[in-house]
Each structure stands twice: as C-alpha cells, then as structure tokens.
A and B are shown apart, each in its own frame.
Chain A
C-alpha cells in the first residue's frame, strides 16, 4: 500500500502543512484548475496564495493552467459566474505568475467523441507538467472524469515504479504533487448533473479491461461509490457495461456528518440497483466520507482480495464508478492508480466508466453561499523520500 502513511490536512492545518512544505526552497509551481462556475476554486486559490505570499517564500516561476471544457449547458447565471470566476482567478494568480488556458474540447469539433477529446487533452496537460518542483491540482471546479484522469495520469508519470510497493517510490524525484479540494458535500449534493452523454466514457488510461475481447470471460467486480442524485448515471453505466453475473460491492459514505446518509442512499438506489441486481448484504462497504485515504484503503484492500481470489478463474475485471463527493472520488482514484497493472499481459484489469452529464443546474445563491473547507492531499515528493 503506497499511501499507508499519508499527508492529508484540512482547514487551518492546511497552512501549517504548506508552511513546512514551502519553507526554505525555491519553487517552480504549476497550478492546474478548471474554468467552471464553482466558486470554491477561488477560495482554494486564495488560501494557497496567502501561504505563498508569506515573506521569505522563493518562487522562481508560477504558471496557472486553466482547463476549458466543451460548453456544458448552463443557466444564464451560471454562464456569467463561469466568466467571472475565470477572470477573478487570473487576476488573483497574477501576483504569483502567469495564466494560460488549455482547451480540452478541441477534438470534439472533429466528431471524434468526448473520450478521444479527453484523452488528447489529458495528454497535453501531462506534457506541460515537465520541469516543475510543485504541481498543484485544484479539483474544485473540474468535472469528475477530468480530475480522475489527471490525478492518475500525473501519478503515472511521477511514480513509474509504483509496483515495487515501496512508498519511497512516491518521492518522485522531489516533485511535490498535491491535490486541493474545496469540500462542501452539501453543495455537491445540490448540484444537479443531467442530460448524460449517450455513450458511457471510460477514464483515459483505464479503458482496456472493459473493452478487450480477450478479457470478456473474466468475472467482473463492480464498486459503485454511491452519492446523492446520481441514480441516472449509475443506471447508464450498469445498463451498458455491468453483466448480471457481476459481483457488486456498493461503497457507502459512513461515518458521515449526517448519520443517516448511508441509509438514505440505500433508499435512493433501491429500485435502480438493489431491486435489479442480486447484491449480498455482506458486499456493502463503508468508508469515512471525510477521509479520502479511508476510501483508498477500503477499496484497494477489497480489490486486492478479489484479484487474488479470482486468479484461479483466469483473471478478473475490476470496475470502479465514483459517484460520490470529490474527496471520496479522489480516494478512489488513488486506489485505481495503485492497483492498475503496469505491463500488458496481466491477468486482471481495472476500468473507470463514467456517464458525463451535459448539463449542470444549481442555484447561484447556493454557490455563492458555500463555505468550503479547504483540504489538501500531498501525494508525492520529499515527504516520502
């Protein structure tokens, strides 16, 4: 387990961690964020900026890479908010360095499909990560499929020798890669994601097992990580990809700020999931909603056990569908990164299918009123050397 010892801080303690991380060295910073309507990204940027602005910090270069996506269908309010958010963030970052915009949706105009567009876009972001001492990925206003692909993609680049199982592999030549989340699970549950794409997309880098004909006969284990108002996305994935013979292990957020949250989710998904498929009670998994490394640990442990047990059947396909909060999704991404086979020919594989919505709806007042708690996960760098 690569992150058996982990660095995860929230609230005011985030600044303590940054103080120690930024102290006494010259930084070349790449800050990756999204152009979206979610104002949490501003709050996150303001926090890290205040820490970098402390006297004595040495910043030799700083670039903010703003990722632009194909136009989602948004209300007039949200379109305005997106523009304002982008302009404010550039202005905020100007004190540190320069901003660039990178379009992820370019290839879609060629009718090549969103999966291809995303793969190409992620590839170009990865090319831009060369030469920095610190890579910061703010997932607050990034779509789920993008930040999962970015986290796993950046980690694959920084930690090529993960299969040694030694957490020192996370030293990554001294490159500090941290993921920032402006967490507000109440706001997450208010954001409606509708009009899903007709095609179910597989996160780049995790396509093989669900597509490969040679893996068709391997048993499939599915880990849907349940979250509010995502039943339609779950149904899309289930109908398209999950056979009835699949072993299904739903992951529920528990403990949670709201003690009945897991129960409510069981009710919400009853008809779409539990009435349709045979799911043993013992397959339900619980993970702390506030700690992504708990999700990582639970998921990785379960996937490892299934992989070992099913080796006798010739192999297995592991499928993870994160539909819950950002923190839980980040935890799931880490588990997927770690278990993914590095070489071809392995007798198991992992896929992350996703039904990307085309339309988001949320009240502007809810976004403006949000008071997110900033959290950071330091995934690689000197701390692991």
Chain B
C-alpha cells in the first residue's frame, strides 16, 4: 500500500511536505501579489483564513527552500526558473551569489499557550524565555543551512557582537556550538518542568524578548567570511498564542522598533470581534496584509485564477497516472448536445409551459416568435436564450400596469438581455432541469473562494474521476461537465457535512449557513430574477453590526453565541465578510457572502454582488433552527 494516490489530497503542503517537494509545488505567482512594502524593515502581519497560503509564503523564504531554488538555476529547470526569477525580483535571491535572506521560521503553535498560569510576570517571562531560545536555535540552524555547514559542525560558525550590544539573558558566546547548547538545555529544562506536572517550581524567565535585539546585533562568520544574508524573522500561527501572549509579543516587538524585517502570520480568527467590527487595520508600526484582499480588486479574481491553475498544474506533475500538461486540459468546458439532450428538451418544455400564458398577447408576439425559431435548433445556448426570454417576460409582466401596451420588439429583448440575466438563466436551468453549472476551470477557481486549500479539496475529487477514466483506458480521459458537476457536488456535500466535525461551533454554523442559503435561494429563484444572477449573501446594517459587536450588559447570551459563530464562520472562510458602503437610501453595513463552494452545495450562483438585508434576530433564529426558520420568515410566519 506504499503509494501516494492523489497529489491534491496533501493540503498542508507548507508543513508536511519535504523541502524538495515543496519547491516543486510552490507557485511563485503569489509573490507578484505581495505589496511592495512587504520587504521594508519593520513588523508585517499576514492574515488569512486557514489554507489561505500564509505558511506556504513564509516557508518559501526559509534557507533550505531558497537554496533549492538557487540550485535549480544551474539545472535550468523551467518549472523552478519561474520561481527563481520572482524571488530575484523580490531580493530574496541574488542572481550571482544565491540566497540573500536569512529566513528564521518558527511556529507559535509550539506549546506557548500551554505554559502554566503562574504569577503574571513569571508567566510572561517563561514565554519570552522559550521564544528567545527557539529563535536562537532556529537562527543557528538557518545559518548552518545557508552556508552549507553540517548540523553537527556548528563550531565552525563564529559569533561577533558590537561592543554596545548588551544582553541580559542570552550569553555572548563566541561559538555557535556553545550558544546552541545553552538554548537547547534551556528549552529542555522548561519542558522537563512542564511535563513533570509539578507545581510550584520556578521556571526560567526572561524580562524582555531579547532574541529580537540579539538578532539585530549579531554577526556570523564562517571561515573568516561574514555571513551577509539579511535576517528575516518569521513567526507563524500567532493565533495559537493566548490572547494576552499575542498582545504582549506584538506590543514588545513594536516598542523595540526593530530595524530588521519581521513577518508575523496568523489566521483571521485571531482578530476575534475585530473581524466583525473591521477594527484597526493599519498602523505606523504594524503593517497588515490580508491574503484574501490581495486577490481582491478588479483584477484580483483573474490573478487568483492564474495562480490557482499554476498550483494545480504543479500538483498534476507529481503523479504519473494521468498524462496531461495542465489540469484544465482534463476538464471539458462544453457538453455535447447529445449528453444534454433530455435536459434541453425538458428546458424547452418548461419554457413552453410558462410562456403559454403570454400566447395571443400582441405585446409579446415578436418575443415568442423569436423563441419559436430558437426552439428549432435545440442546444445549450438555445435553451439559455429561452430562459433569458422567460425571465424578461416575467419582468415585463410585473411592469405592465405602469407601461403602455406597446408591442415589444426583438431588439428590445436584445437590449434587456444582460450578462446578469444570462447568468440567472443558467442557474435557473441548473435548478429546474439539471443543466450542469458547476464545471470548467474558471468556476472551479471561483468555488475556491481565494483559498488554496479549498481549491485542492475540490480538485482532489475531480482528480479521482480523471484517474478512474485513465485506469479504465477511456479513449478520452476528460471529465464532461456532467461528470465534473457530479464530483463537485459530492465534494461540497462532504464539506457541508463535515462542518460540525471540523469547527468548534460547527453545528450552529451549519444551521446558520443552511438558514442563510434557504433565504438566498428564495430570493434567487423568483421568476423575474430581480437580483440576477442571484442572492448569495446577507447584509447586516451598521446599526445591527454595532448591536452585535458591542459588549453592553444587555447583550443576551444568544447574541454572544451568534457573534462567536459569525466570527468563526468568517475566520474559517465559511462566510466572506465584505463591507457595504452607505448610500442615500441606506446606511452602510457588512455583507456576509456564502463561501463559493457552499454555493455549489446550495445550488446558488457563484458571482458576488447579490445580497439581502437581514436582522440580527433573523440570524439568531437561523442559527438555532436552520432553514425551517428561514422558510417561515419567507412565508411571514415569524
């Protein structure tokens, strides 16, 4: 059973894969999206939902990975040269001399939150001591890696300090070997006490985060040569710290005004209520970078699609069952008319049935004649045209009281036919006659909701289908739209079922999402498609948001639970919060869009833009009672 069957299943590429594999999988296009100031000295905080790519980004700057990219330049590997060029452009690698950055990469999920609650000062001191010794250990290992020294030959690295540098806790050792042993024994001592389950013993304590000052001051020499790489301290998983520890670390880092480059990375969950209140986003000392926002803007989705396809292609090359140059080659973009024949006929029948009430009405004669001509050549485009006509008929019907009863020309229909109406027609056809909607590389990228982990999750399912076709010696190992949609639906059903198993407020989150989706569906599938292509989010006005976020005494327990559930949904990418600007007729607020792959589960369109105002009470009701409550609301029972 020694096999790796599906290269898309290994989702935490950043932590679990080897450096060699990571280098092959890393898509350098994410580097293009990094803001220019991300390499300026100071403290930068990268945020995203889980699977957003923070750790992947940080890992790309570790010594072993940079060396691997650099080594690849001599082999002229096409795959890796793309990465190399971008790393050179970002100053992480010097074209002539190799890595220019000394990446020191540590995770904050390594037990800091499990430190015992002693007296406040001592507790913080142990946290500082543990972080200090780990920064020292990792720095020395990074220097060894970047200079090609074996881990057991650290004595070859000499350490030098400027005379004015004063350390209270870290010894001014001259040999890296001695300093390594000091840090190692300090860490072992801390864990011997913690694992001993003995209370009352004094654990090592530092009064400041000295490793930051140490890193700024120290110079490394190997064979008399100065190690010239610029240090880049990267602390990942800041959200794993206790709230107080995280605040302490950030405060002390800021007050030490580091001259070196510090990257901190955390999940959005660390923002807590800030996530809902859109709290302080920027500061002079702290620069925040949201990975999701990097893919925002007008060109963002286009850039994400390019990046996503690059990631998929790299994964595809890790296996040898399916012979294809790119992942998109395996996904058929158009169905054959024969495959869809029954559904097309059903769509035409449905159109006939709904249009029958307009027969004999002179106002719509030209539109219906046009529809009759379209029906003569039944195919996918034709049935979409018919549904566009049906939506426009329904809209006109609603307006008839206000307009003159003039006959509508075919030209008017063409003018009213917008891309939104066409998109609404597609989702209506999917809903009513099962015409495939969730297929093709573009929609796959949309469903990923700018999250690579989601992209790989969906692609893993598609790959199983492609692999099966290949194994069965199918002459054309391409997935048809129908097959793609079937696999996507299976995957998203699993995703929705696993919400209670994977999230700490999972069951409530699932009910809330079901409720929101039921409400969105009710508004999306109105015959005149008033919010074309559809509603995929709900909006809380600023007043409602304030009532939810404020910590007033009158806050009910239920409201507190909703805040927690919404925060978790936003942090875990189940809901995508976007601010909505105020206008003359309404106040500002926050729209909570459904995750795009969940839209596939709920048979909703994938475009952003359609939302409906709801109240905190609605959301609380849905959270407790799910879609039944949403349906009752629609019927005016609540």
Report the minimal beta-carbon distance from B172 to chain A, rounded to whole angstroms. Answer: 21
> Per a CB cutoff under 8 Å, which of B109, B138, B501 touches A196?
B501
Pairwise interchain contact A196-B114, C-beta atoms closer than 8 A: no
Contact indicator B188/A345 (Cβ below 8 Å): yes
Q: Which of A126, A194, A202, A274 contacts B1 (CB 8 A)?
A: A274
Contact check, B194 vs A271: say whether CB atoms are below 8 A apart. Answer: no
Neighbouring A residues of B260 by C-beta, 8 Å:
none
Q: At the interface with chain B, which of A5-13, A205-213, A253-261, A373-381?
A: A205-213
Nearest CB on A from B55, distance (A): 11
Structural contact, B9 and A275, CB atoms closer than 8 A: yes
Q: Which residue of A lies closest to B193 (CB)?
A: A344
Residue numbers in A under 8 Å from B187 (CB-CB): 212-214
Contact between A119 and B197, CB atoms less than 8 A apart: yes
Fill in one digit per residue for A318-341: 1 if any B CB lies within 8 Å of its CB, else 0. Answer: 000000000000000000000000
A156 within 8 A of B: yes
The answer to whether the Cβ of A55 comes within 8 Å of any Cβ in the partner chain is no
Contact A244 B18 (CB under 8 A): yes
Determine whether A77 belongs to the interface, using a CB cutoff of 8 Å to chain B.
no
> Which residues of A lie under 8 Å from residue B198 when comparing CB positions?
123
Which residues does chain A contribute within 8 Å of B21, judged by CB atoms?
244
Q: How far is the CA of A112 from the CA of B241 in the complex (A)?
A: 10
CB 8 Å contact bits of B135-175 with A (1 = contact, 0 = none): 00110010000000001000000000000000000000000
Which of B3, B16, B183 is the one whose CB lies under 8 Å from A244?
A: B16
Asked if A198 CB lies within 8 Å of chain B CBs, one says yes
Of the candidates B3, B183, B242, B505, which one forms a contact with A278 in the assembled complex, judged by CB atoms under 8 Å apart? B3
Min C-beta distance of B328 to chain A, whole Å? 23
Pick the residue among B5, B110, B151, B243 that contacts A211 (CB under 8 A).
B110
Any B CB within 8 A of the CB of A279: yes
From B2, B109, B116, contact of A240 by CB (8 A): B109
Q: Which of B18, B109, B191, B507 has the most CB of A within 10 A?
A: B191
CA distance A194 to B505 in the complex (A): 10
Is B500's CB under 8 angstroms from A112's CB? no
State A194–B506 Cα separation when bound (angstroms). Answer: 8
- In the complex, what residue of chain A is closest to B117 when comparing beta carbons? A112
Residues of A within 8 A of B11 (CB): 239
Please name all residues of chain A whose beta carbon is closer than 8 Å to the beta carbon of B242 when the two chains form the complex.
111-113
Chain A residues near B4 (CB-CB < 8 A): 275-278
Pick the contact of B17 from A110, A116, A195, A244 — CB < 8 Å?
A: A244
Residues of B within 8 A of A198 (CB): 269, 503-504
Contacts A198-B269, A207-B195, A344-B192 given; does A232 touch B106 at CB 8 Å? no
CA distance A153 to B198 in the complex (A): 11
Q: Quote the shortest CB–CB distance from A140 to chain B (angstroms).
A: 24
Contact with B along A337-370 (1 / 0, CB 8 A): 0000001110000000000001100000000000
| CB closest chain-B residue, reference A229 | B501
What residue of chain B has the Cβ atom nearest to residue A198's Cβ? Answer: B504
A107 at the B interface (CB under 8 A): yes
Residues in B neighbouring A197, C-beta threshold 8 A: 504
**CB contact under 8 A between A213 and B1, given known A116-B115, A156-B197, A195-B503:** no
Interface check A166, CB cutoff 8 A: no
Q: Decide yes or no: A206 and B501 within 8 Å by CB, A211-B110, A214-B184 being known contacts.
A: no
Is A153 within 8 A of B138, CB to CB?
no
CA distance A202 to B197 in the complex (A): 13
Instruction: Evaluate contact between B10 and A199: CB separation under 8 angstroms.
Output: no
Judge whether A73 is part of the interface by a CB distance below 8 angstroms: yes
**B508 nearest CB across to chain A (Å):** 9
Task: Tell me whether A213 and B195 are in contact (CB under 8 A).
Answer: no
Q: In the complex the two chains form, is A213's CB within 8 Å of B106's CB?
A: yes
- Is B478's CB within 8 Å of the partner chain A? no
Q: Known: A123-B197, A194-B506, A214-B183. Is A281-B114 also a contact (CB below 8 A)?
A: no
Tell whether B498 is near chain A: CB-to-CB under 8 Å.
yes
Contact A344 B503 (CB under 8 A): no
A120 CB–B CB distance under 8 Å = yes
* Interface: A122 (CB within 8 A): yes
Name the interface residues of A245-281: CB closer than 8 Å to any CB of B. 245, 271, 274-281
- A 180-211 to B, binary, CB cutoff 8 A, 1 in contact else 0: 00000000000000111111001011111011
Contact A275 B113 (CB under 8 A): no
A119, B151: Cβ atoms under 8 Å? no
B residues near A156, Cβ cutoff 8 Å: 197
A195–B507 CB distance below 8 A: yes
CB of B111 closer than 8 Å to a CB of A: yes
Interface residue A242 (Cβ < 8 Å from any Cβ of B): yes
Determine if A59 is an interface residue (Cβ-Cβ < 8 Å).
no
A207 touches B111 (CB 8 A): yes
Nearest chain B CB to A310's CB is how many angstroms away?
Answer: 15
**Which B residues from 522 to 554 make CB contacts under 8 A with A?**
none
Residue among B114, B138, B502 making CB contact with A113, cutoff 8 Å: B114
Partner of A195, one of B5, B183, B506: B506
Q: Are A344 and B9 CB-contacts (below 8 A) given A195-B500, A195-B507, A207-B111?
A: no
Contact B111 A126 (CB under 8 A): no
Q: Which residues of A have CB within 8 Å of B504?
A: 195-198, 358
B184: which A residues are within 8 A, CB to CB? 214
**With known contacts A110-B117, A116-B114, A207-B191, A243–B15 Cβ distance under 8 A:** yes
A110 CA / B111 CA spacing, docked (Å): 17
Chain A CB within 8 A of B240 CB:
yes
- Docked Cα-Cα span, A250 to B18, in Å, equals 21
In-complex Cβ contact of B199 among A123, A244, A279, A345 (8 A): A123
Q: Which of A213, A244, A278 contacts B110 (CB 8 A)?
A: A213
CA separation between A205 and B111, bound complex, in Å? 12
Closest partner residue, chain A, to B113 (CB atom)? A113
With known contacts A123-B199, A276-B10, A344–B189 Cβ distance under 8 A: yes
Interface centre among A112, A199, A208, A214 (most CB of B within 10 A): A214
CA distance A160 to B446 in the complex (A): 59
Chain A residues within 8 Å of B1, by CB: 274, 279-281
Does B110 lie within 8 Å of A344, measured CB to CB? no
A92 within 8 A of B: no
A244 touches B191 (CB 8 A): no
Mark A135-169 against chain B: 1 for CB-CB distance below 8 A, else 0. 00000000000000000010010000000000000
A26 to B501, CA, bound (A): 49
- Considering the chains assembled together, what is the distance between the CA atoms of A110 and B15 in angstroms? 31
Q: Is the CB of A195 within 8 A of B10?
A: no
- The CB with the most chain A CB atoms within 10 A, among B133, B151, B504, is that of B504
Check: A304 CB closer than 8 A to any chain B CB: no
Check B240 against A199 for contact (C-beta < 8 Å): yes
> How far does the Cβ of A199 sit from chain B's closest Cβ, in whole Å?
7
Q: Are B191 and A115 in contact (CB under 8 A)?
A: no
For the complex, is B6 an interface residue (Cβ under 8 Å from A)? yes
Assembly CA distance A139 to B505 (angstroms): 27
Tell me, yes or no, whether B59 is within 8 Å of chain A by CB.
no
**B429 → chain A closest CB, angstroms:** 32
> Which chain B positions have C-beta within 8 A of A195?
500-501, 503-507
Q: A202-B114, A359-B500 are in contact. Are A208 and B191 (CB under 8 A)?
A: yes
The smallest beta-carbon distance between A87 and chain B, in angstroms, is 26
Q: Is B207 an interface residue (CB 8 A)?
A: no
B window 103-134: CB within 8 A of A = 106, 109-111, 113-117, 133-134
A-B contact pairs, 13 of them (CB 8 A): A116-B113, A119-B116, A194-B500, A195-B504, A206-B195, A207-B195, A208-B191, A212-B191, A244-B17, A277-B4, A281-B2, A343-B192, A344-B188
Q: Which residues of B contact A (CB under 8 A)?
A: 1-6, 9-12, 15-18, 21, 106, 109-111, 113-117, 133-134, 137-138, 141, 151, 183-184, 187-189, 191-192, 194-199, 240, 242-244, 269, 498, 500-507
Given contacts A199-B113, A207-B191, A213-B133, 12 further A-B contacts (CB under 8 A): A115-B114, A195-B504, A204-B197, A205-B196, A213-B137, A213-B138, A213-B187, A232-B498, A239-B11, A243-B15, A276-B9, A358-B504
Question: Which 4 A-B residue pairings sit nearest by Cβ, starting from the closest?
Answer: A211-B111, A208-B191, A344-B192, A232-B501
